[in-house]
Structure 1
């Protein structure tokens, strides 16, 4: 039996981009996705983590998600929506609304639970996918972002994160393989950084027991498709059936060239040749453009003046501009105003200006940057570390990021106590 589903991830609902809300852009994406659901009528929609941008999302972001689920259910009543928590999400929060999700044929897996015997609760992680006649056409193995506190301690082999991650995969895949019939597919959905994956500068480093990236060797050959989330660039990892769908909108200027998409997947497990697996990329229209302008001050001014003119009335629909100007002399006090004046009025948002010295002998630390984003904990720690006279130390940074991850988990626990 053929199973048809959409693979998407990393929505980051509620994100602010240099203090500007992305609500409009997300709304346009969700409306487009609803159209695809109505046309294609898939059996399932998989959202592979980072549904929200922060663990305590604003009510507006939550409303966007739940309104989308209601609208999707209206357009495809048989379709199931399966989502997992990413490192930006609160796993407990997205599971708390389970009664609401059930109304819309949706399910969220936020954390890895233990059963009454203290063993891995496989039933919560194995979700059947049905066709229109309520036949099981696939099993989805749902693995949210794996935090050490949730997955260690099952037995003497799971005392560290690396072994625990392997144990969780082994147990889940073995149970799924035992349950499936020959005409049912196995789909594994995970939010993780896999070895060989290409990152952008908007993705937070993931530290799990100082292991930054996982091996695809954990995915047994019985898995028909691996739906990954976390990396924002659409890409395959090693094999054609192991893929990141990527984010639906650019989450940083480094993602301007990304071909944002939703993947439409069809699997017929009864076929043994290449026809078993079919994939189509559904290109997501970009509702707000981003522009990176680089060069000398004169070149930057010329490029800004050459940009398209014509007012855009709503500020949240105006295009973003980032400038990197090259110079070996101090900037004029009114340089920002010169850049603003060169832009067509009421069409653009100049959100970032940075300077790069033409003289390559100038120490990188003298580079000045105007960045309207609040600094991350990693940036604050690195600045303080360097001010104390210490050099770069990957081990120290990894230890610090481990503490940040533990603190974030502690905040989630307190919020749900």
Structure 2
């Protein structure tokens, strides 16, 4: 059996206000070509399909047009997609009855039966090969929110609740499969030891309390297709537990990632190989600096000029990081003037202050940080420090995390 493992499409994402639809369209066209060329049995999409719980119409059209196109060119392909922490579980599942006619399974939430047991049956999906023979079973684990895995049956410990869900689902899968059928898990989670991007991955719960141990996936699981972390990587060096990473760089901190999907091959229950397929980058992200303003202006002057015959949608996104000794009221004007006629698209100017030019009482080595660089937890911690003059305690942080989750779940209601 052959599978393609993808994740973190983040359809509808924008980069400092700039639309990424063209880049997502290029990726999906490339993925369709790869599906046609290699004819895998299964396509896995491990969460964060959309960038927000209420994605723009264009982003939803991208997803459903892709699913229809994939089914038309390869009717035997099975697609499994789960909700991530950026997604609305109910929105992901809303068209599920229709998508099943296209051999696509959409799982957004875990549900519980009247007797308090996990509804494992809906989370276990048969994976047939091109001939229709079931070669594997997929254990679909959408992002598990605290309210879904805590309560009367599971207690109030979030990690313990997650562990119980995994244990029950794996037990149900082992009872259902026959010898020779592989178990494939697809999950959206932060695994302990995973390498996180600087500013493009929203914290799932809070701090390290969210990090899950790889031991959740026992040796009976042939392959674990993970989503959430944008950098492709193995978990604890295990070949069978992988993040495929995002298909496009979602922030300037991801410039140096080799964005990819993973081509997974199995023989029965045995994992044969996991090979990356590198995704062509439709639009480059370019960062200049940090450096003094005079040096920055010289570097901007050396950038190539616009070629009117080139596709403007493929011009690089540019971030300029300027190191200043004192505020420059006309900083943006100087940068934009230097960029006139250049074949780049400016999306962000970041100023870092150093030296002794400050007279406002701030730390001479302080860095100016924009709001979009801070998580809600970091903003809350800074506000607490400013108001009370002390570090926020762990219990208050946990209470804030629960309130934040409640707000996010309310936003997800269709």
TM-score computed with the length of structure 1 as normaliser: 0.91
Q: Would you say the 8 A contact 1:196–1:237 is kept in 2?
A: yes
**Worse-superposed segment, 401-410 or 229-238:** 401-410
Q: Give the corresponding residue for 1:25.
A: 23
Q: Which residue of 1 aligns with 2:144?
A: 146
Pick from 36, 39, 42 the counterpart of residue 40 of structure 2. Answer: 42
- The equivalent of 1:284 in structure 2 is 279
By how many angstroms is 1:315 displaced? 5.7
Partner of 1:355, secondary structure, is strand
2:320 to 317, 323, 326: 323
2 CA distance for matches of 1:245 and 1:160?
Answer: 29
Q: Which residue of 2 aligns with 1:257?
A: 256
1:351 aligns with one of 347, 351, 370: 347
Q: How does 1:36-185 map to 2 (within 5 A)?
A: 36-153=34-151, 155=153, 157-185=154-182
Q: Secondary structure at the match of 1:388?
A: helix
Segments of structure 2 that go 5 or more residues without pairing to the other structure are none
Residue 368 of structure 1, CA deviation: 3.5
1:341 equivalent in structure 2: 337
Q: Which residue of 1 aligns with 2:403?
A: 403
On the 8 A contact 1:53/1:89 being kept in 2, the answer is yes
Q: CA deviation at 1:316?
A: 4.5
Q: What are the superposed Cα offsets for residues 151-176 of structure 1, whole Å, 9 maximum, x if unpaired?
A: 22463x54421211111111111111
1:180 Cα deviation after fit: 1.6
Aligned to 1:384: 383
CA distance 1:216–1:270, shift in 2 (3 Å): closer
Cα distance change of structure 1 residues 302 and 142 upon mapping to structure 2, 3 Å threshold: same
Q: Aligned-pair distance for 1:84?
A: 0.5
SS at match of 2:264: strand
2:288 alignment partner in structure 1: 293
- Displacement after TM superposition at 1:292 (Å): 1.2
What's the secondary structure of 2:210's corresponding residue?
Answer: coil
Q: TM-score, normalised by structure 2?
A: 0.91
Cα distance, 1:342 vs. partner?
2.3
User: 2-side partners of 1:158 and 1:386: how far apart?
Assistant: 32
Q: Which sits farther off after the overlay, 393-402 or 106-115?
A: 393-402
State the Cα deviation string for residues 10-29 of structure 1 (Å, max 9, x = none): 00101111111111010000
The answer (yes or no) to whether the contact 1:264–1:280 under 8 Å persists in 2 is yes
1:358/1:374 Cα in 2 relative to 1: closer, same or farther (>3 Å)?
closer
Secondary structure of 1:198's counterpart equals coil
Contact 1:190 1:227 in 2 (8 A): yes
Distance 2:120 2:352 in 1: 53
Q: Does 1:247 align with 2:246?
A: yes
Q: 1:39 to 1:299 in 2, by over 3 A?
A: same
Quote the offset at 1:343 in angstroms. Answer: 2.4
Moved more, 261-270 or 38-47: 261-270
- Change over 3 Å in CA distance of 1:214–1:307 after alignment to 2: same
1:321 positional shift: 1.1
Root mean square deviation of aligned Cα: 2.3
- Report Cα offsets for 1:52-84 as digits up to 9, x if no partner: 011111111111100000001112110011000
Indicate yes or no: 2:12 matched with 1:14.
yes
Structure 1 contact 162–209 (Cα < 8 Å) conserved: no
SS of residue matched to 1:211: helix
Taking the aligned partners of 1:68 and 1:131, their CA distance within structure 2 comes to: 21
How many residue pairs are counted as aligned between the two chains? Answer: 405
Residue 346 of structure 1: how far off its partner (Å): 5.7
Does the C-alpha gap of structure 1 residues 117 and 236 become closer, same or farther in structure 2, counting only changes over 3 Å?
same
